[in-house]
Amino acid sequence: MQPARLVRVVIALLSLGLATASVGAQQPQLVGTLEIVGPQPARHAAGLQLRATVRNDAHQTWCAPVVPLSIAQLSVDVYDPSGRRVPTIPPPVPRPDDDRCEPLEQGRSRTFVISLGVFSPDLAPGTYTVRWGAREGIATPPATFVIAR
């Protein structure tokens, strides 16, 4: 994102009350849940989806970055049975509106359905751990899925 555009976005968020300019301001309390959707065990990760839900438990509105939270390569970390992070294919090329966000008011939730078909080569058989939303400060317990041939 260009610096001038970033400044305009921050100013717009401040004017809408969706961001705060004060130093040391308390971050929203964001709580996530994960559900693996698809056959278990799966033959391929491409047949699985992650249903990730974030709930805003804070006393302020949170601006949910829609694109980063809905793309696996930007929001999901997958770990193999030995605990090593599994790399994904590169994320899609950003579009001009990829920096948009949706206000999530106190007590509200938003669900993202994310394809796990982002590995090349496909995952080897084993039990994998998935984490979501950590880069955005969302406290989400991990989920697991199994690949079996």
Q: What is the pLDDT of residues 4-33, one digit of tens each?
A: 444 344 444 334 444 443 334 455 499 999
* pLDDT in 10s for each residue of the chain, 149 residues: 454 444 344 444 334 444 443 334 455 499 999 999 999 999 999 999 999 999 999 999 999 999 999 999 999 999 999 999 999 999 999 888 888 899 999 999 999 999 999 999 999 999 999 999 988 999 999 999 999 98
Q: List, in sequence order, the alpha helices (H) in 46-149.
A: 66-70, 72-75
Query: Per the domain annotation, does 78 fall within a domain?
Result: yes
pTM over 0.85: no
Query: Per the domain annotation, does 71 fall within a domain?
Result: yes
Q: How many CB atoms lie within 10 A of CB 26?
A: 10
| CATH number for the domain that contains residue 139 | 2.60.40.2970
Query: Per the domain annotation, does 18 fall within a domain?
Result: no
- 49 lies in which domain range? 24-147
Query: Per the domain annotation, does 68 fall within a domain?
Result: yes
The answer to whether the bond into 90 is cis (omega within 30° of 0) is no
Query: Per the domain annotation, does 10 fall within a domain?
Result: no
Query: Per the domain annotation, does 2 fall within a domain?
Result: no
User: What's the domain count of the chain?
Assistant: 1
Query: Per the domain annotation, does 109 fall within a domain?
Result: yes
Q: What is the pLDDT of residues 33-42, one digit of tens each?
A: 999 999 999 9
Compute the distance between CA of residue 118 and CA of residue 90 in angstroms, rounded to an integer.
8
Is residue 72 classed as helix, strand or coil in its secondary structure? helix
